[in-house]
Structure 1
Amino acid sequence: MNLHASFLKRVGLENSGQVQFEDLERILKAFSLTIPFENFGILDNKKIPLTAESLSFKILEQRRGGVCYELNPLLYYFLTENHLDVQLIQGTVYNHAEQKWSLSGTHAAILLSTDSSSYLLDSGFGTNVAQKPIPMNGEMTESATGKFRIREKSTSEGSHLLEMRLDSEQQDSWKIGYAFHADRPLNLTDLYDIQAKIHDNPDSPFNKKPLAAMRTETGVKTLSEASFSVTEDGRTEKHPLSAGEFQKMAEKEFGLQGLL
């Protein structure tokens, strides 16, 4: 299908023809500011097909968001349509609160190759998205989110680590975002396996309570069933929600209608 024009319209960018590598930073930033990371489809137990057509309908036409196995495949289909050399890859997020790996193999990201270099792309890592390609050679990249780098290190969960220093946490040391396999492309069957785990596994972090989160020009905003939070310059303002306010806030701040 042709989703080029509708994708650019959804993220608020002008259609200037075929996308080039130089356009990716602008596209990734726009994606992070317009399409929320949200799990409402999971809570409704809607296991949609992870095809270009289905994801386009949900995210571009219905103006919903999604989680990693929806957001990054949509970006992958868009980039493939623009003849960029990309493949989906599999990873495992590190849970810093519990000091262990989260549910194994349940993160999907993108590896992009050019004539001279390779890069990690990710629009599905909640608000911890780099908003630009991250070089696979270990070179640090920096954005409004923080600093990011890739380190080649073999672990039980992959061949490489995404490491980050988030501005929102005002931290001085690198911490692991996730491990990933750079040499194991994901196919559609693999994506459905990730979808099933996130929907059904008791250890999934996304099948219990509603969540919506998105980058802003100056920080992040996050919606839970009990509160709406805005973080700017490392400072967070948290606003409790009364009964009935959740849906209104989802519509006002994230453009999400008719959720629950």
Structure 2
Amino acid sequence: MSGLNALFRQRIGMPENEKITFAALDLVLELTAKSIPFENFSIIEQRASAITEDNLVCKLLVNKEGGLCYELNALLYFFLIDNSFHAVLTRGVVYNNDAQAYLTIGRTHATILLAHEDQTYLVDTGFGGNLPLTPVPLTGETVTSRNGAFRARKAHSEHGDYVLEMKLKHKDNDWRIGYAFDSGKPVGDVAELNEIQTIIAEHPDSPFNKHSLITRHTAQGSVTLTDTSLTQWTDGAVAKEKIDGGRFKELLKKHFSR
């Protein structure tokens, strides 16, 4: 077993001797969403490192930080490959539902496509509070998890040939687009993800280079901390608290052990 495989299992609480089957991926995704937060601290603090397997292991597994999509899904991709799955990374364009338009900063979402028994599935652990928590087949079929309902359907556009759509539990009454992606343009090398990181860190329209953000799933819902607020979803009920800098550090330690 590789060092990444062992450390990943240790981080999410998966036994080292347990075989990771396709049926076990729901559990892997659930444990990962609870254990490794979606966060932008390295961007805000201007200490981002090149996207390599070794750097991801150091940051996410040894130092036990979180990361953004291109880090979280790259790490999961390596874990899946280590466990004999056939997977590739691909890039997508996130949709802003408030503006009813795709983000103008380009293909800055990294996700995973996994092949299993002549079917292709989207697997994503890097989409913040919008995680499917289960593989989503590229057939348009609706799948459900405790986080809501999800589907990946064909939708040819300049942004790709598929879209991921969702109806989050307790939050969405209608389907909404998460992002478009191209099933025919896999990432050839994780080094390509450095382009995403540069855009996220430097582009004036990047949603992640202005304010601190960290979020993870919990057994009852989710917890999200920014430099101005704490938001907790618990069994469908939401509680939001405005905070200051001192409170931020206190809550970061309480909810994220940092």
TM-score (norm 2): 0.95
How far apart in 2 are the matches of 1:68 and 1:189? 14
Identity value in percent: 38
The TM-score normalised by the length of structure 1 is: 0.94
Q: How does 1:232-251 map to 2 (within 5 A)?
A: 232-251=234-253
Among residues 174, 188, 191, which one is paired with 2:190 in the alignment? 188
Counterpart-to-counterpart distance in 1, 2:223 and 2:170:
11
2:182 aligned counterpart, secondary structure: strand
Q: Look up the equivalent residue of 2:192 and give its one-letter code.
A: D
Match of 1:116 in 2: 118
Q: Are residues 1:202 and 2:214 paired?
A: no
- Residue pairs, 1:164-175, within 5 angstroms: 164-171=166-173, 173-175=174-176
C-alpha distance in structure 2 between counterparts of 1:154 and 1:145, whole Å: 27
* Residues in 2 aligned to 1:105 and 1:240: alpha-carbon distance in whole angstroms: 33
Whether 1:51 aligns to 2:52 is yes
1:129-168 alignment runs, 5 A limit: 129-168=131-170
Shift of 1:97: 1.5
CA offset digits 1:22-60 (Å, max 9, x no partner):
221110010001111000000111221211111011011
Give yes or no for contact 1:168–1:231 (8 Å, CA) kept in 2: no
Does the CA contact (< 8 Å) of 1:36 and 1:66 recur in 2? yes
TM-superposed deviation, 1:213:
0.8
Letter in 2 for 1:128: N
Deviation of residue 117 (structure 1)? 1.0
For structure 2, the 5+ residue unaligned runs are none
User: In structure 2, how many angstroms separate the alpha carbons of the residues matched to 1:123 and 1:76?
Assistant: 10
Bigger drift between 247-256 and 2-11 goes to 247-256
The Cα shift of 1:142 comes to 0.4
Structure-1 separation of matches of 2:221 and 2:43: 26
Q: Distance between the aligned counterparts of 1:2 and 1:17, measured in 2?
A: 16
Partner of 1:28: 29
- Cα RMSD for the two superposed structures: 1.3
Question: Structure 2: which amino acid aligns with 1:55?
Answer: L
